[in-house]
Chain A
């Protein structure tokens, strides 16, 4: 972790921290601009650009038509010509209308050009459910982006990481998909979340992409997770600690590249693994984590690995149904007990 200025007691919401990183990078790099739907006067539906229009004006904080293929492609072209665009796809769910620009162009140009063309852009998007927004507005889908080669994928869970990873993403010479869960942003109009407020370094601050964070140390079971699920995992870890179970919570922070060393080190210590992911269960992040351990040394696991994810069903609208499929505290706690008792 690179900290170029000493930590202070200043606490920000995740959304404010994300905006601060963008603001600081825009101040010293005129090639950075932010573009997307409702990012201007509205300030981003999920607060990703609050105050930036007032600060930088409409030439650099740009509202687009609802034409994702065109404006994501525009971001790619501008990046190819040396600008550093940050382009917002309002919801990860909307990747369907513009995926070709993302995975066949943004993610492949560097490779296809034999390394002679770079695409230094950031593609931001909101993800996740938990507030009854239905099957087309509640998906995480980060596993899909991570599956497709050629783009880095970061998924911050804390205000400090939201800032540090955004700075790193803007400075990276590769396309970086920056996925923020709506539930971690600290929005006034969503359920209150104490973890969405935290200390954030004031000056320029970089969190290197590809390094996981041990969010809590523990000796009994490794809980590997990301984004909003880190918050749930920490809450559950505190609870089961009172019952004598010490959970080590690994916040993956970055899916591409994935910090396999930190994961393996932890599982080597605990011998037990629970993976919590709000994305779909099959063919995704949770399978990749388990495979990483199995490929390295299946003998590391003293008990079978547990996966807590969305059980391959679209996210239901009705609250009771949605909370039955999301990896919430109760399911996480159950998985920990299963792992520890096995």
Chain B
């Protein structure tokens, strides 16, 4: 297995040890701490964006106002999915994320400064301020996302196709929510990838909700892992435990790298915050219990109990995450806004 992008950026984090495909031994402490670090960094990022987003929306709440205007879909609670999957990837592997893309971008090692500058609509951003938070494109890590439900699946097939044709063992990871699994593009992609044995890992983040519609109201079956069997590929469903995700993703990634074709991994995760910022969540019947399902304190607890982390270790990780995030926010804020005279640029190459 290869060094995750986040670990290459952080010299103090040793590379996880090599593991055999399909093997699920007890995880090395450095891997466990690495997973925790990624989740903490991702949460610190979302908390900072949350703060900046709401800082200047008033009086009242005007979605078009402020340094970070527009819709904002944050990923708090879903960190185990991104951390557990991306730990098996390098920046040579592709990830296509959704309208809720930040945790996957962070875990896949997208440059935080450029990503934040994009979210702030700056010329130094990944898309020079043209794209925004739902349209992050990073060629350096083969990362992209889309605001159209399930439409990130098909392009992942093409990236996988290119990797395969070039004789590499690179793979593509395609992400959607459970709501998106009812789109035609989802099913077409599973079938095509299966038939052509493309090196893809399909990830479904089941956070129980698609905006206000609960999974039970929209979906005929209880697990998307079962849908995988309709296309003759392995399907697994795991709970929001980062190590369970890590293990399952290890099997799926190994299978793809070995040329054995795609797999589907569904994670039953939790959306701790609103669908988008400003969502009052009046429809949310599970809100009271949701906070208790926060995966980060739970994982921190287990690392402490196992002696993998102590107070000083936790503090060091949180401080490091906080300072990386604040640096990115500062850089974004100090970056120039795009020149309106260039508004029609970049339509064509």
Contacts and interface: CB of A to CB of B under 8 A. Distances in A.
B218 A321 contact: no
A319 B283 CA distance: 32
Interface string B319-349: 0000000000000000001111111100100
Interface in A254-279: none
Interface stretch (B16-24, B177-185, B265-273, B302-310): B177-185
A71 to B, nearest CB: 10
Nearest to A313: B344
Nearest to A67: B182
Nearest to A134: B132
Contacts of A192: 62
B347 A314 contact: yes
Contacts of A188: 60-61
A320 B64 contact: no
Given A96-B148, A136-B147, A189-B278, A317 B344 contact: no
B70 A136 contact: no
Nearest to B182: A65
A97 B62 CA distance: 29
A289 B146 CA distance: 34
A63 B132 contact: no
Contacts of B149: 66, 94, 97
B210 interface: yes
B337 A320 contact: yes
A136 B98 CA distance: 13
Interface string A301-342: 000000000011110111111011100000000000000000
Contact of B211 (A37, A93, A96): A37
Contact of A317 (B65, B135, B150, B347): B135
A134 B121 contact: no
A318 B123 CA distance: 9
Given A94-B148, A134-B147, A321 B213 contact: no
Interface residues of B, number: 50
B218 A45 contact: no
Given A42-B211, A130-B64, A188-B60, A321 B340 contact: yes
A25 interface: no
A319 B121 contact: yes
B129 interface: yes
Contact of A38 (B121, B132, B211, B338): B211
Given A37-B213, A190-B63, A320 B70 contact: no
B131 interface: yes
A289 B124 CA distance: 40
A65 B135 contact: no
Given A65-B219, A132-B121, A189 B213 contact: no
Given A45-B211, A96-B148, A312-B347, A317 B131 contact: yes
A324 to B, nearest CB: 4
A133 B343 contact: no
Nearest to B281: A42
Given A45-B211, A134-B70, 18 more contacts: A69-B184, A97-B149, A97-B183, A131-B63, A131-B70, A134-B147, A188-B61, A190-B64, A314-B130, A317-B121, A318-B122, A318-B130, A319-B69, A320-B339, A321-B129, A321-B338, A325-B343, A325-B344
5 contacts: A41-B282, A63-B212, A63-B213, A66-B150, A135-B131
Interface of A: 37-38, 40-42, 45, 63-69, 93-94, 96-97, 130-137, 188-192, 311-314, 316-321, 323-325
